[in-house]
């Protein structure tokens, strides 16, 4: 897997007793950005880029563009099971299907259904119902027709490769007040085509590893909870190359013996 990090497969069940009855959006939860990018197909055509230049170049020189896109689009190296063992509890899945029926069938035995607006899932309440999976979906029309699906979770991320700008953006968003329910602070860096062309020997893994010291320093200063400025889910690229999961999980113990 490329790392020897300590695993945390059961960290939720080891939390202090009083946290088992706290709403899940008031816990600190580690997540992975673009969780399935470890399995990108190098032979696939460039279809997602918004850059007309990259599309043209791909037609003329796919032997150059596709490895380049692969280097910059790969944001995880660990398979999903290992990410979960590390402690990841939010998976950012990009499903290339419009049908929600396959999602419902896949998660049929584990979806936690929002019954009323007053419903507030906690670890204890989910476990008591043997429902351990929450699925949020970006298509609001589909969510309205399928009560098993939760509405899309707000995801804050800065459009920058500079970790200091990422932190400044997240701090600015936090000052506006936290969303009701789940929300995500994204530590993921975002490159553009100009950055890629200016750094031909770089890749997303390299710039992420360089930025992690700054980003994890910010994480260590955070607290979970309902107050303005407190965090909930924090997502990161390459979750297995640092102590990211340990750092986020540890926030749940702040101020406790």
pLDDT at site 50: 42
Whole-number Cα distances in Å, 132 to 16, 104, 125, 128: 19, 14, 10, 10
pLDDT value for 56: 46
CA distance 100 to 21: 31
pLDDT of residue 208: 94
Q: Is 68 helix (H, G, I), strand (E, B) or coil?
A: helix
Q: What is the pLDDT of residue 138?
A: 84
Cβ(241)–Cβ(2) below 8 Å: yes
Give average pLDDT by consecutive 10-residue segment, the chain, 257 residues.
Answer: 70 96 97 75 47 48 58 77 94 70 72 64 91 86 83 93 97 94 94 73 88 98 96 96 96 81
Q: Identify any residues that bridge with 29 across adjacent strands, giving them in sequence order.
A: 233
- How is the chain split into domains, by residue range? 11-36+76-253
Strands 155-156, 150-151: pairing kind:
unpaired
Pairing of strands 90-91, 150-151: unpaired
Q: What is the pLDDT of residue 222?
A: 98
pLDDT at 57: 46
Q: CATH: 3.20.20.190, 3.90.1150.10, 2.40.50.1020, 3.30.930.10. Which one for 11-36+76-253?
A: 3.20.20.190
Give me the pLDDT at residue 70, please.
60
């Amino acid at each position: 897997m490329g790392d020897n990090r300590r695993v945390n497969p059961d960290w939720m069940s080891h939390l202090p007793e009083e946290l088992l009855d706290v709403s899940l959006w008031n816990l600190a939860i580690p997540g992975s950005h673009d969780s399935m990018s470890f399995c990108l197909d190098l032979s696939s055509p460039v279809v997602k880029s918004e850059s007309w230049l990259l599309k043209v170049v791909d037609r003329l020189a796919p032997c150059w563009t596709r490895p380049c896109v692969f280097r910059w689009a790969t944001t995880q190296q660990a398979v999903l099971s290992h990410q979960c063992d590390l402690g990841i509890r939010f998976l950012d899945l990009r499903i290339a299907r419009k049908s929600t029926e396959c999602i419902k069938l896949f998660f049929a035995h584990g979806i936690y259904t929002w019954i009323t607006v007053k419903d507030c899932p906690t670890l204890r309440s989910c476990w008591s119902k043997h429902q351990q999976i929450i699925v949020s979906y970006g298509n609001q029309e589909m969510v309205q027709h399928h009560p098993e699906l939760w509405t899309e979770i707000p995801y804050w991320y800065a459009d920058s490769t500079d970790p200091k700008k990422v932190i400044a953006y997240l701090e600015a968003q936090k000052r506006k007040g936290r969303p009701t329910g789940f929300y995500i602070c994204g530590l993921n860096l975002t490159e553009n085509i100009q950055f890629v062309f200016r750094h031909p020997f770089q890749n997303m893994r390299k710039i992420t590893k360089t930025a992690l010291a700054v980003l994890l320093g910010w994480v260590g200063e955070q607290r979970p909870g309902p107050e303005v400025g407190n965090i909930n889910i924090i997502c990161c690229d390459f979750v297995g190359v640092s102590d990211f999961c340990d750092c986020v999980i540890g926030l749940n113990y702040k101020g406790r013996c």
